[in-house]
Amino acid sequence: MKIEKLILDMYDVGMIKFGEFTLKSGKQSYVYADIRTAISYPEIFVNLCDLIYSKMSGLNYDSICGVPYSALTFASGIAYAHKIPMLLKRKEAKGYGTKKILEGNYQSGDTCLIIEDVVTTGMSIGETTEVLEAEGIQIKDIVCFINRNQGGKETLEAQGYKLHSITDLYLVLDILYRHGKITADDKAKAEALIGV
């Protein structure tokens, strides 16, 4: 199974870590998925892009946009490999030149698909959808690699978006445990903090 090998490969290079972590949302976690470091592992990066692209099949969009900064590289890889127009939402507006916060070619009424690496609360995605929607761009679908099962999917769906995830934190923990990468104690500690 492609996802199983990918999770194991990610763990082996340190992209999935166990310990005491504070997430961007402020939540505490015993497991951290550092997906952005995939840029240093071409095979993992390509596999991640392929899985995300396969989740996009059948969805309707004119362009894609990766949530900065983590998902920008995945959106770029997918856009260039599959000749899909891409928009780039900056973290902050430029203080010079055009002073834009959104780069790319688009028109009001276009539909953009959002790409994210990990969804916890959906807060980072909200910062991106707000900018795009202010430009008249419609957003219906969001594709992510890991749904952390911490309320993000429900929050996004309450806002009218559909989240499509490749995997979730429970499956990641299950794969690592079944392959002897983590102990039953590690799995229990991580799962205990998922709903918190």
- CATH number of the domain that residue 26 is part of: 3.40.50.2020
How far is the C-alpha of 100 from the C-alpha of 17, rounded, in Å? 36
Name the β-bridge partners of 114: 65, 142
- The number of domains in the chain is 1
Q: Residue 86 is encoded by which pair of tokens? A: 């891409």
Q: Residue 13 is encoded by which pair of tokens? A: 């290079």
Give me the domain span that covers residue 120.
2-194
pTM for the full predicted model: 0.91
CA 15 remoteness from chain centre: 14
Please state, as a whole number, how many other Cβ atoms lie within 10 Å of the Cβ of residue 116.
29
**Helix axes 2-12 and 169-178, enclosed angle (nearest 10):** 80
Contact assessment for residue 114 and residue 141, using Cβ atoms and an 8 Å cutoff:
yes
According to the model, what pLDDT value does residue 98 have? 55
How far is the C-alpha of 88 from the C-alpha of 55, rounded, in Å? 21
Residues of the chain with pLDDT under 50: none
